[in-house]
Amino acid sequence: MLEVRDLTKSFDGFQAVGGVSLDAPRGSIGAIIGPNGAGKTTLFNLITGHLRPDRGHVKLNGRDVTGIAPHDLCRLGVGRSFQRTNIFPRLTVFENVQAAFLSHRGRGWNLVAPVERLYRAETLGLLESIGLGDRAGEVAGFLSHGGQKQLELGLALALEPEILLLDEPTAGMSATETREAIRLIERIARERGLTLLFTEHDMSVVFSIAERITVLHQGRVIADGPPDDVRRDEAVRRVYLGERH
Partner 1 sequence: MSGRGLAGLLVFAAALLVPVLGSRFYTFLANDVIIWALFATSLNLLVGYTGLVSFGHAAYFGVGAYVTGILMKKLAVPFLLAWPAAGVFGAACALVFGFFCVRLTRIYFAMLTLAFAQIVWAICFKWNELTGGEQGMPEIPYPDFGWLERLGASVPLLGGWRTAEYFYFLSTVLVAASLWALHRIVTSPFGRMLTTIRENAERAEFIGLNVRRYELAAFVLAGAFAGLAGGLFGIFNRGVFPDFAYWTKSSEVLIMTLLGGMGTFYGPSVGALVLILLNQQIVSYTQYWPLVLGTVLVVLLFGFPGGIAGAVGALSGRLFRRVRSA
Among 115, 144, 145, 245, binds partner 1 (CB under 8 A): 115
CB of 179 to partner 1, least distance (A): 27
**Does position 41 bind partner 1 by CB under 8 A?**
no
Asked if 74 is part of the footprint of partner 1 (rule: CB under 8 A), the reply reads yes
Cα(64)–Cα(126) distance, integer angstroms: 31
Q: Which residue, 70 or 226, has its beta carbon nearer to partner 1?
A: 70
Options 69, 144, 145, 226; binder of partner 1; rule CB under 8 A: 69
Query: What is the footprint of partner 1 within residues 124-153 (CB under 8 A)?
Result: 137, 139, 141-142
Q: Which residues bind partner 1 (CB under 8 A)?
A: 48, 50, 69-71, 74-75, 80, 82, 86-92, 95, 98-100, 102-104, 107-116, 118, 137, 139, 141-142, 155, 158-159
